[in-house]
Structure 1
Amino acid sequence: MAADGGQGAGPSGERAGDEQTGPREYRMEELARLAGITVRTLRFYRERKLIPPPRREGRIAWYDDHHLARLRTISALLERGHTLNGIAELAEALDQGRDVADLLGVGAPTEEEPVRLTPEELAARFDGEVTPENLAAALDLGYLGTDGDEIVHISRRLLEVSSALVREGIPLAEVLTAGRRVREHADALAEIFTDLILRHAPEEDLRRLRPLARSVVEAELSLALDRRSRKEE
């Protein structure tokens, strides 16, 4: 019998298919069955480093739910037309991305709602546009972070606007480039209002007064768009 094959007792003494109180672990055959692929395909994915190495216990390889999630993601991305080379590059970009704790810092944004996504859910929102280059750009911007097998987008509003722009035919690469430019202006505006408030109010008032700053920016942007529209007419 091969070292990776067959059903057997896990580290706890229970069989891999039995109910366990701790994290599930699987032998190769069971993992392949649950993922809907052949053992040969699983070995191929492992050789291509599309999944992380299993935990070794002597000659026995144990896989867990993270491996299962990755395999299901690979199948979903293949169905959407991604190549194995592209999936490998996406996996590498994610593995090199920032952890969600680094992305959010000591806590979640005060007004923006983070969104958790699987890689296939992200691909579905930006069908055909989730390339390694775009993923790396989003990770570098701090829009995305990783948390195990999930991706975390820092802002539901930004996610929805970005996907809406892509649905309108604007390439995601250009949306991300625009986002980087907007980030620079937003940082400058935040500095203006922070300095203004702190010159005339205690620091603890900064969060309370921030809606006023946001309203000014929204109104000025609306007026600026009006002016731009008139120039284009």
Structure 2
Amino acid sequence: MRKTPSSASRTTGAAANSPGNEYSVDELARVADSTVRNIRAYQDRGLLAPPEKRGRVGIYDDTHVSRLKLIHHLLARGYSLANIQDLIKAIEEGHDLRSILGLENAIGGRWSQERPQAYSLAALATMFGGTAPAALAKAVELGLLERDGLKFVAKSPSSLAAGAAMAREGIPAREMLDMMSDVRPHFEAVAKVLVDLVVRRLDRYDEASLPPPADVPALVEAIGRMRPLAMVLVESEMNRALEEAAGGYLGDRVATIMKKRLGHVPDENRKTGTASGPPRKRATKR
């Protein structure tokens, strides 16, 4: 029988994502950007722990998500499955690489607690008042929806529901998708800065080595605390920017109305709060 990761290894660092998510094998493949076939293959090679059995159903959790992300990251950097298998074996044998188990879950684990949800084409049409093929294709391209046979799976049902609510307010789905395509690079840049900020606690260690095992629990807890705080900062700054943008638009709109109705716009003194009455008529000599 091929050796698989121990249950102790599977639970290392679990506190970093408590309460954790649970997934079927199909859901795990979606949230980890993998395939069911690859998941089975990684389990057969001992790279991925088997799921918890509940009757005839296998249940996976966030430790499986972070392990899959680690495998994908190492594969992208040119490591072979054999190399990764040696790494996992070294971890299980108690080498210092064991530290990576807690850190991979704290840093690489999911930030969202949402579970994917499947929608039929008819359900999407009802939500958005019709579904143009071009809009569906754009949503799939952006990763907002994923085809699954005759259905579409949303990784973030709440985002889909928000988009549907905006569509009911009269904003075309295609315009929302174009907006998301335009702003995504900016969000990715913000995310990069925040991740760098959160993991900067690792900077005091040599780049080519992991922290000492004794330091790992405190690091995992610190990173786990900072992740939700980073989300608060993003939400707060986004609210501030939206308020400023809305206020600027309202000011411009009011100025336009005054110009149209009153025939003038506030002069510079009035804009700065200085009292200023209407222009005086020039006196004429009799």
Q: Which residue number corresponds to residue 230 of structure 1?
A: 247
Instruction: Determine what percentage of the aligned residue pairs are the same residue.
Output: 34
Q: Answer yes or no: is 1:105 the counterpart of 2:33.
A: yes
User: Contact between 1:103 and 1:142, CA under 8 Å: does it hold in 2?
Assistant: no
User: Contact between 1:115 and 1:152, CA under 8 Å: does it hold in 2?
Assistant: yes
- The 2-side partners of 1:169 and 1:141 are apart by 22
Q: Structure 1 residues 167 and 121, CA, compared in 2 at 3 Å: closer, same or farther? A: same
Q: Which residue number corresponds to residue 125 of structure 1?
A: 127
TM-score by length of 2: 0.43
Partner SS, residue 186 of structure 2: helix
- The 1-side partners of 2:113 and 2:30 are apart by 18
Q: Which residue number corresponds to residue 175 of structure 2?
A: 174
Partner SS, residue 153 of structure 2: strand
Alignment of 1:2-151 (within 5 A): 101=29, 104-106=32-34, 107=65, 109=110, 110-128=112-130, 130-151=131-152
Give the residue type in structure 2 aligned to 1:229: A
Give RMSD over aligned pairs.
2.4
The structure with more radius of gyration: 2
Q: Which residue number corresponds to residue 57 of structure 1?
A: none
Q: Structure 1 residues 210 and 222, CA, compared in 2 at 3 Å: closer, same or farther? A: same
Q: Provide structure 1 residue ranges, at least 5 long, that are not aligned to the other structure.
A: 1-98
User: Contact between 2:198 and 2:227, CA under 8 Å: does it hold in 1?
Assistant: no
Partner SS, residue 171 of structure 2: coil
User: Contact between 1:103 and 1:144, CA under 8 Å: does it hold in 2?
Assistant: no
Q: Which residue number corresponds to residue 153 of structure 1?
A: 154
The higher-RCO structure (CA 8 Å, 6+ apart) is 2
From 204, 215, 227, give the equivalent of 1:210: 227
Q: Which residue number corresponds to residue 279 of structure 2?
A: none
- The 2-side partners of 1:155 and 1:209 are apart by 22
Q: Which residue number corresponds to residue 101 of structure 2?
A: none
Deviations 1:26-68 (A, max 9, x none): xxxxxxxxxxxxxxxxxxxxxxxxxxxxxxxxxxxxxxxxxxx
Q: Structure 1 residues 104 and 116, CA, compared in 2 at 3 Å: closer, same or farther? A: farther
Offset at 1:181? 2.3
Q: Provide structure 2 residue ranges, at least 5 long, that are not aligned to the other structure.
A: 1-25, 35-64, 66-108, 203-215, 252-286
- The 2-side partners of 1:192 and 1:115 are apart by 30
User: Contact between 1:144 and 1:152, CA under 8 Å: does it hold in 2?
Assistant: yes
Q: Which residue number corresponds to residue 185 of structure 1?
A: 186
Offset at 1:103? 6.4
- The 1-side partners of 2:172 and 2:179 are apart by 11
- The 2-side partners of 1:154 and 1:207 are apart by 22
- The 2-side partners of 1:181 and 1:209 are apart by 28
Give the residue type in structure 2 aligned to 1:136: A
Q: Structure 1 residues 162 and 179, CA, compared in 2 at 3 Å: closer, same or farther? A: same
Partner SS, residue 151 of structure 1: strand
Q: Answer yes or no: is 1:199 the counterpart of 2:200.
A: yes
- The 2-side partners of 1:117 and 1:207 are apart by 33
- The 1-side partners of 2:164 and 2:33 are apart by 25
Number of residues of Structure 1 aligned to a counterpart in Structure 2: 134
Offset at 1:120? 0.9
Offset at 1:206? 4.1
- The 2-side partners of 1:111 and 1:207 are apart by 14
Offset at 1:102? 5.5
Q: Structure 1 residues 183 and 113, CA, compared in 2 at 3 Å: closer, same or farther? A: farther
From 219, 222, 226, give the equivalent of 2:236: 219
Partner SS, residue 196 of structure 1: helix
- The 2-side partners of 1:231 and 1:179 are apart by 22
Partner SS, residue 193 of structure 1: helix
Partner SS, residue 170 of structure 2: coil
